[in-house]
Amino acid sequence: MATTATSSSKGKYWLYFLVSFVIFMLMLIFLNQWFWVAMPFMLTFLVMALGYM
C-alpha cells in the first residue's frame, strides 16, 4: 500500500532540494573535482519533492 506525502512534507523536500542544489553549484564552481559528492542528495530530494518516492 503506497502512502502519499502531505504538502508540508513536500515543501520540506523542496527546501532540502534547493539547499542541496546551492551546495552542489558551489562545489561545482569551487571544488569541481568533488561536485559528485553532493549530487545524490540533490537528486534524491528532487525525486522525493516530486512525489515519485
Contact residues for 37 (Cβ-Cβ < 8 A; gap 6+): 27
- Cα–Cα distance for residue pair 16/47, rounded to 1 Å: 11
Q: How far is CA 26 from the centre of its chain?
A: 14
pTM: 0.80
Contact yes or no for 51/33 (Cβ under 8 A): no
The one-character DSSP state at 39 is H
CA atoms within 13 A on the CB side of 37: 8
pLDDT, tens only, 1-53? 456 666 778 999 999 999 999 999 999 999 999 989 999 999 999 999 999 98
The one-character DSSP state at 50 is H
Whole-number pLDDT of residue 2: 56
Whole-number pLDDT of residue 52: 92
